[in-house]
Amino acid sequence: MSMHEPEAIFRSGMTGASSALQAIAADAGSLRAFAGIAVAICRALRSGNKVLVCGNGGSMCDAMHFAEELTGRFRQDRPALAAIAISDASHITCVGNDYGFEHVFSRAVEALGQPGDVLIALSTSGNSPNILRAVETARGAELVTVALLGKDGGMLAAGGSCHHMLIVPGETSDRIQELHMLVLHLLVEAIEAELFPR
């Protein structure tokens, strides 16, 4: 590999990421969606409810990261906030083995979700059967449903089954997940600013 190839990949990747950031920052619909999600989470936490978060692969890692920043800390010391990433390996392998992988998130929502809780579903495609089923279960259990999506939003966006939805620009999972993580960080910042103003 010549040194020109890594340089070209770096420049291309940074240019693409910058373009995606500029696009979402200038999109009024994304701003409204973000504000609606932040308000919904703050309302739930103020009421003694919790946030459940789910996703597959890298999106599960994002879900875990978001949850730990609520239960732990982000930029300032403050009381812990109730959040659970649906990521326990024993639960996932048990349910996957006994019921099928499409049930791994919905069973956790059924077990842990209470009316007024928030489910945040992370999906780069919006087509994952286990994500679709989790949202369906959450709606039936009277949770507030949130989806962070990519591409065209897939079946989840087409079905209009989420109370709040934000679709980030990008056609590949890596770019989409990078923007999802940024949105999640900004949500934590907004939650802390609202619930624990300095």
Q: What per-residue confidence (pLDDT) applies to 76?
A: 86
Distance between CA atoms of residues 54 and 49, nearest Å: 17
- Integer-rounded Cα radius of gyration of the chain: 17
According to DSSP H, which parts of 99-140 are helical? Answer: 104-112, 129-140
CATH homologous superfamily, domain 28-195: Glucose-6-phosphate isomerase like protein; domain 1 (3.40.50.10490)
The DSSP secondary-structure symbol of 171 reads: S
What is the maximal distance between C-alpha atoms in the chain? Answer: 58
Q: Digits of tens for pLDDT over the chain (198 positions)?
A: 666 799 999 999 999 999 999 999 999 999 999 999 999 999 999 999 999 999 999 999 999 999 999 999 998 899 999 999 999 999 999 999 999 999 999 999 999 999 999 999 999 999 999 999 999 999 999 999 999 999 999 999 999 889 999 999 988 999 999 999 999 999 999 999 999 998
Pull the structure tokens for residue 162: 């989420």
pTM: 0.95
Q: What per-residue confidence (pLDDT) applies to 166?
A: 98
Q: Within 13 Å, how many C-alpha atoms sit on residue 146's CB side?
A: 26
Q: What per-residue confidence (pLDDT) applies to 1?
A: 60
Q: How far is CA 139 from the centre of its chain?
A: 16
Nearest Cα residue to 127 out of 173, 169, 163, 93: 173
